[in-house]
Each structure stands twice: as structure tokens, then as C-alpha cells.
Amino acid sequence: MQRDLILTGIHIGEHSFEVDKISEELIERCINPGYNFVTIRTPSKYIERKYFYEWAQLLRRHKVYFVFLYTIQHAPAGHKSQLDRETVEKIKEIAGKYFLGDMIGETGSSFCCKMPGYYTDTRPDSGDSKVALKTFSDLKEAEAEYIRNVSEYINYDKEIGIENVFSVEATGLNKYNAMAGVDIPTLEVMCGNPELLIPNLRGVARAWKSKMWGTYVAHEWYGGMRHNDGLKIKRLSLAYKYSYISGSNLFCLESGDERIESFGDCYDRNSDICRSYRAVLDYAKELIENDFRPKGGPKVKVAFVSGLYDAYGGWGGSSLWNQFNRPEWAHGEAEYSWRLLEETGSKREWYDIGNYGDKDYSAAPAYGMYDIIPIEADLETLSKYEYLIFLGWNTMTDENLEKLTAYVENGGNLLMTMAHLNKTPVRGGRAEYPDNGKFEKLFGVNYTGRILSSNAGVKLEFNSLNPKHLYQGTKNFVTDPLFSAGYIDYAQLRAAGGKVTGVISESFLKKDEEREPMVIEHKLGKGVATLIASTNYPGNPALMPLYRSLMREMLSSSHRNADIIVLGNDKLRFAVYEGDKVYLLNTDYDFPISVKIIKGSLEQTVTLEALELKSIQL
């Protein structure tokens, strides 16, 4: 079993960049503390070549890996980049493997989430360069323009000999950076919800088979707006620990170890606040040095699908692809669907009758982690997951429909709505379906072409085609209809081999004439495909209760039937690695928690103090 290569260190150039003092800064802030990674953020002022070579020699001598940031986006006047082929070749010659590559920054937030005037600083390196403000006819066109813009940076880096192009991204749009050619994606933590954005990043890295992926900890700016608040420092500790158990291979603290200068405050290196940042850095260094984390990342059985042209960023503006003042491009029910992930770390309430099992497995999927996997991933990658669950926007293609069919045939379990089968890339456009809605092969149904709008409830069958699933239904179908929460548009479907598992109903008693299909299951090969007949996305408030129930049962089922089960309260986060190594993290700021680990007939109970990360070798 191989050990992960994990790098941790700091960022040079956040608040100042004095070129003739950078070597001293590298020694003081990176080399002397014993870190093995640094990012050097170059300004827009031209840097003499001798300094690049000086830094390369110094870092190679001390075995510190390094990348440059903003060499192209903040290029000096008259130059395309701070770097050219001759400089790159010389740096590679001097530093060898320790020169990792060049990094582009925040293209997703700039090209997809920023309103005009968001950033008006007039400094030449203010960071708001090349914001795309074009008007697009559809999502496909917007995606192509984004990839074209980002590819310009990457193509130049490749032309001058950069082997690895990194990206530091604040949003969930890393898959588009990968399409543009980014080799190693990293995420700016904590601009948004890390329990959404880190699984998204990990899914992209797995889909594109990246050598590594990382977390860029921008805690000074995004860990909280009150620098001297005690919870902000605790939050920094948790950001590192959660990223670590999630599989991050690279940790870079953007600032705070040497100086804090933001929000109207200024703290120097000797302040208690900067000391506390360095204490977290030192903890991370010791953890990485002393812990054997198996290579390959955490085991994951459940993946949520980032669909074709899904542009939900998870942080930033609430219009897609910078299409402000165009209502159909504003966040809607497709984007709201991702909010369902906000509750995946929480147990169902005690009064929730849809929670089943001899124990409460509902706080986490199998092995504690889920991925957000791009639909663009190949079949081999998709087939590693027991479940694929669609949430946000998807434009269906014949190719992806065939891939999903093969996924189910190979033993996968699929959940989606009719909205995810729509093949139009036009926001607010008329729905169109592959093969005119003939979904016999994948879902065992055909679309009649008619739409029914209803605010009735839904009754579910007692048994699913997947025997592991425990649905909220009865054997005789006599029960109250559930999940009614408003009007939903249903595509009227005709069964063609699929099983009607849920029907629209307004009656306590079973009535055949009320059996309008709402949930359809289809056994295909070794797997089961489940279709919700609604043409709405799961983020529609009226559809959300039903979709949430089916989704959470799939997560609970994966956990109930896993070979390693981990039980604790809502503050527990955990991950399982190859060789049965389990990482446990208490995210509670103040109180200890008890955790039970079960494997076969063996059980052990572990206590975690507040904020404690502990590894258990079973």
C-alpha cells in the first residue's frame, strides 16, 4: 500500500512583494518552519530573470516544491507572461521535480459569477482582468466561451514548457477548467461550503485522473470577517482537518501567518492572531509528516452528478455565466437543487418516519464521503459508484444516455427526474427529449407527450426493485399520501417494462384510477434506474420533499450495507481509506462526542474531544 504525497506551505505575495527580499521571506516563512511547499505570486512589475533562478536554487536546496501564480493574468506591460520558454527551461534545469508548474487563478468566479463593478480597484494587478460580459444564446455557447478564454492561458503555458498547469478556483466550476486543459485543480477554501465544493473538486480530479488536487486556504478573507473572533481560528483548524480527511494532496495558506491586512484591520507577525495561524500550519505539517495516509483518496460509494452545462458555482453571484439582468439565467430550481446537500451531514429528525434500520445510519453515506462527479466522466469512473444521483441542471445527449444505461447495466443505481432528460441547452427553453421520450431501455417507460399539473400527494410501494431500499410505503397501499407540498408538473408516462413504484394519490384507500405514475423503477442488468416523472428539478419546493426522501434513503442504504459502519452525532465527519483506515473528525467547537465503529461482529467506541481529528486502523 502506497503513501500519499502531501504538500503543505504558504503563499508569498498576498500583501506585498519586494523582489530583492523574497529569498529572505522564503527562508523565514517557509524553509525555517520546515514546510515543503510554496506559491510565489508574481506582481505585474517585470522581474529580472536572476531572481527566478535564485529562488529555484534556494528551494531546490531545501527540497521545497513550488509554483508561480498570476504570471499570465498579471503579466508585465509588453509581455504575455512573467515567464517565457528560456526562463522555464532554466528553472526546470535548476529545480528539477521541485518546480511543479504555473497556476491560474479564480477564472470561474471572474467569468461566471462576478457582477459588473464587483471589483473596482485600479491597481494594475487588482485581479479583475478579462471578466467575460458577453451575451449568450444558450448554455452550450457560454461553456464554449469560458473554455476558450481559459484555454488561452493554458495553451501559452504549455507552449513555453510548463508541464503542469494548476488552477486555484473559488467555485464549483473546476470541471470547465479541466476541459480547458488544467492538469492539477485546487480549491480556495472557504469561499463557499467546503462540504459541497471539496467533493466537487475531488470528483473532477477523479474524472480527469489528475495527479493530485489541493486546497488553497484563503482564511484571512473567507474564514470570517472578525479577525479576533475565537471561532474563526477554530474554523481554520477544521478547514485543514476536513480537507485532509477528504484527500487533499496540497495545502497552501494564502496569508495570515506573517500579516493580516483586511476589513480595516492590520495585525503583524508578532500578533496573537498571526501566531495562531502559524500554530495551525505547524499542526498540519506534523500531521502530514507523522500520519500514513494511504494513496487513492477516501472510499466513496455515492456520487451526485454535475450535469452537462451545469454552471452552479456554489459561491459568488446568483446568475450563470455573468448573464446578469436576464431572469432566465438567474439561479432557479435547477441550482436550488444543490441545497439538498446541505443536510447530508445531519441525521434525520427523530420524528421522521422515513428513517429505517436497527440503528440510525442517516447522517452519512457509506464511508462518510460523497463525490460530485461530472457527467463528462467516462463509464469506468462512473461505474466505481454504487449510486449516481442527479441534482442540478443537465442537458441530456444520446451519448450520455447510453453511458448511463451502461452504468445501470453494470450494477449501478440511478436517480433523476424528467428535467434531467431534457436535451435543450436553452435556459427557459421548450423541453425536448431524446428519441421523442422513448425511455424503454433505461427506465422502462415512454413519454406520452402530455403534462399533468397536480398538487396531490404520492404513495410509494412497500418494496423497491432494489431490495436494500426501504421506502415509505405499505404492503396493501392503504395509507395517507405523502410529500404533497404544492403543484408539480408531471410528464404522463406509460409503463413499458418498468415498475410503477410511486403514484399520485389523494386517497387514504387504494384506488386503481388514481395510479398516475410518479416514481418508476426499472431493473436493467445488475442495476436499478429510478425516474421521478416530474419535469421540475429537485430544487422545486413542491418536489423537494419526495426527492429528498428517495435520495436520503439511498444514502442511508449505502451506509447500512457497508462493510464498515461509523455512527455518531451530526458533528461527526469521517472517511475510510484503503486498508481499513478510518479518519474521525469532531467538528463541534466546544464538546466531545462518542463514535461507534462497526465491522462485522467487531465494535469499538471512540471519544473525540472538541475539534479533534483521530485515525483508527481497523
pLDDT at position 511 is 62
What is the percent of the chain with per-residue pLDDT over 90, rounded to a whole number? 90
pLDDT at 253 over 60: yes
Same-domain pairing of 233 and 254 = yes
Q: Which long-range contacts (CB under 8 A, 24 or more apart) does 255-258 make?
A: 255/11, 255/14, 255/15, 255/218, 255/220, 255/221, 256/219, 256/220, 257/10, 257/29, 257/281, 258/10, 258/25, 258/29
pLDDT at position 316 is 80
Residues whose CB falls within 8 Å of the CB of residue 288, separated by 6 or more in sequence, listed in order: 6, 8, 244, 251
What is the percent of the chain with per-residue pLDDT over 70, rounded to a whole number? 96
Most confident among 161-165, 325-329, 340-344 (mean pLDDT): 161-165
**Burial level of 280, CB count in 10 A (0-12/13-18/19+)?**
buried
- Can you give the residue range of the structural domain that contains 551? 302-446+518-560
pLDDT at position 123 is 40
Q: In this predicted model, what pLDDT tens digit does every residue of 419-478 receive, in sequence order?
A: 999 999 999 999 999 999 999 999 999 999 999 999 999 999 999 999 999 999 999 888
User: Sign of the C-alpha dihedral, residues 262, 267, 272, 278?
Assistant: positive
**459 part of a folded domain:** no
User: Residue 262 phi/psi, 5° resolution?
Assistant: -165, 160
CA–CA separation, 103 vs 295, rounded Å? Answer: 24
**469 part of a folded domain:** no
Residue with cell 455515492: 302
447 bridge partner residues:
493
Same-domain pairing of 182 and 286 = yes
pLDDT at position 514 is 58
| CA-based nearest residue to 78, from 121, 46, 123, 125 | 46
Mean pLDDT to the nearest integer, 362-371: 97
Same-domain pairing of 282 and 407 = no
**Banded model confidence at residue 509, pLDDT cuts 50, 70, 90:** confident
**Banded model confidence at residue 528, pLDDT cuts 50, 70, 90:** very high
Give the domain CATH number at 556: 3.40.50
**215 part of a folded domain:** yes
CA–CA separation, 517 vs 466, rounded Å? Answer: 18
Q: In this predicted model, what pLDDT tens digit does every residue of 395-404 receive, in sequence order?
A: 999 999 999 9
pLDDT at 1 over 90: no
Domain's final residue, options 262, 290, 318? 290
Q: What is the domain count for the chain?
A: 3
User: What's the grid cell of residue 398?
Assistant: 444520446
Same-domain pairing of 327 and 191 = no
Task: Tell how strand 445-454 and strand 438-439 pair up.
Answer: antiparallel
Residues whose CB falls within 8 Å of the CB of residue 325, separated by 6 or more in sequence, listed in order: none
**456 part of a folded domain:** no
The separation between the first and the last C-alpha atoms of the chain, rounded to the nearest angstrom, is: 15
DSSP state, residue 95: H
pLDDT at position 125 is 44
- The per-residue DSSP string of 202-234 comes to HHHHHHTT-S--EEEE-HHHHS-S-TT-HHHHH
Q: Report the chain's mean pLDDT, rounded to a whole number.
A: 94
379 bridge partner residues:
none
pLDDT at position 40 is 98
Q: In this predicted model, what pLDDT tens digit does every residue of 202-221 receive, in sequence order?
A: 999 999 999 999 999 999 99
Cα–Cα distances in Å, from 306 out to 109, 280, 395? 18, 33, 11
Residues whose CB falls within 8 Å of the CB of residue 358, separated by 6 or more in sequence, listed in order: none
One-letter amino acid for residue 500 of the chain: V
Mean pLDDT to the nearest integer, 372-395: 98
Same-domain pairing of 343 and 244 = no
Residue with cell 455565466: 321
pLDDT at position 129 is 46
pLDDT at position 429 is 92
Mean pLDDT to the nearest integer, 272-295: 97
Residues whose CB falls within 8 Å of the CB of residue 482, separated by 6 or more in sequence, listed in order: 457, 458, 459, 460, 472, 545, 546, 549
What pTM, to 2 d.p., does this model score?
Answer: 0.96
CA–CA separation, 530 vs 507, rounded Å? Answer: 24
CA–CA separation, 414 vs 444, rounded Å? Answer: 13
Q: In this predicted model, what pLDDT tens digit does every residue of 135-192 receive, in sequence order?
A: 999 999 999 999 999 999 999 999 999 999 999 999 999 999 999 999 999 999 999 9
88: enclosing H helix or E strand: helix 85-95
pLDDT at position 331 is 95
Same-domain pairing of 555 and 569 = no
pLDDT at position 128 is 46
Same-domain pairing of 214 and 330 = no
Q: Is the peptide bond before 396 cis (omega within 30 degrees of 0)?
A: no
Same-domain pairing of 87 and 143 = yes
pLDDT, greater one: 306 or 479: 306
Neighbours of 557 (CB within 10 A): 25
Same-domain pairing of 202 and 58 = yes
Same-domain pairing of 183 and 282 = yes
User: What's the grid cell of residue 417?
Assistant: 427526474
Contact 535, 333 (CB under 8 A): no
User: Sign of the C-alpha dihedral, residues 73, 77, 78, 84?
Assistant: negative
Mean pLDDT to the nearest integer, 110-133: 59
**490 part of a folded domain:** no
One-letter amino acid for residue 356 of the chain: Y
- The per-residue DSSP string of 246-311 comes to HT-SEEEE-SSSS-EEETTEEE-TTSHHHHHHHHHHHHHHHHHHH--PBTT-----EEEEE-TT--
CA–CA separation, 243 vs 573, rounded Å? Answer: 11
Give the domain CATH number at 62: 3.20.20.80
| CA-based nearest residue to 305, from 377, 367, 366, 364 | 377
User: What's the grid cell of residue 558?
Assistant: 449505502
Residues whose CB falls within 8 Å of the CB of residue 555, separated by 6 or more in sequence, listed in order: 302, 344, 362, 364, 365, 370, 387
User: What's the grid cell of residue 360?
Assistant: 440510525
pLDDT at position 7 is 98
One-letter amino acid for residue 208 of the chain: W
**477 part of a folded domain:** no
User: Sign of the C-alpha dihedral, residues 81, 218, 284, 226?
Assistant: positive
Q: Where are the alpha helices (DSSP H) in 465-591?
A: 544-560
Domain's final residue, options 253, 269, 290? 290
Domain's final residue, options 245, 264, 290? 290
pLDDT at 512 over 60: no
User: What's the grid cell of residue 288?
Assistant: 502530514
**Banded model confidence at residue 52, pLDDT cuts 50, 70, 90:** very high
Contact 111, 146 (CB under 8 A): yes
Same-domain pairing of 310 and 286 = no
**487 part of a folded domain:** no
User: Sign of the C-alpha dihedral, residues 266, 272, 277, 278?
Assistant: positive
pLDDT at position 284 is 96
Same-domain pairing of 15 and 138 = yes
**160 part of a folded domain:** yes
